[in-house]
Amino acid sequence: MASYKTIEEIEEGLILAEAVVNNFGQTMIPVGAKLQEKHLRLLKTWNVAGVMVKADGEDDEMEISPQMIETAIKNLESSMKWKCELNIELDLFDSAVKHIAKHDG
């Protein structure tokens, strides 16, 4: 189970259970990132109070069925007003599909 760690408790090597996003909804550090010194500096710079991290031994990956992916794609595409064209947009779309499949599955 994920746990909340304050900025003082965060150390290198912890794995993020939730993405760190700024006030504009932009991802600063993605879910699953293994925290490094550069991440700690970023969190302090942006005055992040704490983050959700995975517990030791917690499974990194949840199995996502093809049906879950298909449903997530349909749901995401129905709410988008544009079509992905750039590689970064495609990467963001894929990340969103996985997130939706895991959490709305």
Q: Quick: pLDDT tens for 40-88.
A: 999 999 999 999 999 875 555 567 788 888 998 998 999 998 889 999 9
pLDDT at 62 (0 to 100): 60
Pick the range with the lowest mean pLDDT from 2-16, 28-42, 63-77: 63-77
Distance of CA 103 to the CA centre of its chain: 11
Give the tokens for residue 92: 């963001």
Closest CA to 58 of 13, 8, 15, 11: 15
| Site of tokens 């069925």 | 65
- Please give the CATH architecture assigned to the domain spanning 3-53: Alpha-Beta Complex (3.90)
**What does the domain layout of the chain look like in residue ranges?**
3-53, 66-104
Run of H or E including 79: helix 66-79
Residue 27 tokens read as: 């991802």
Confidence (pTM): 0.55
Mean pLDDT of 8-23: 91
Rounded CA separation 39/85 (Å): 29
